[in-house]
Amino acid sequence: MSASLDGYIQLAHAIVAVAAESYKYTLLAVRSHTRSDSVYRRKAELESFFLSEWFGLLSGLDGRYFIKRMQEVYYFDR
């Protein structure tokens, strides 16, 4: 594998990791009954990203399943 391709793969993983981390904290804010429009707007933006073809290309994951699992772990279970 070429070094430049490896760099693109690392970048893709970093984009997905940052979005997942942001979604985690957004779900925790929603769960704690944060009454901020910006929190709900951010949640919608992230879910839109996870459902996009771009997310699928970057991660190889099913966005609907990803959202469901994140919600189970960070919103419903705790």
Q: What is the pLDDT of residues 43-76, one digit of tens each?
A: 999 999 999 999 999 999 999 999 999 999 987 7
Q: With contact defined as beta carbons under 8 Å apart, do 63 and 48 qualify?
A: no
Q: With contact defined as beta carbons under 8 Å apart, do 75 and 30 qualify?
A: yes
Distances (CA, A) of 25 to 42, 43, 46, 55, 69: 10, 10, 11, 19, 14
**Can you give the residue range of the structural domain that contains 55?**
3-76
How many structural domains compose the chain? 1
Residue 38 has pLDDT above 90, yes or no: yes
Decide: helix, strand or coil at residue 35: coil
Residue 26 has pLDDT above 70, yes or no: yes
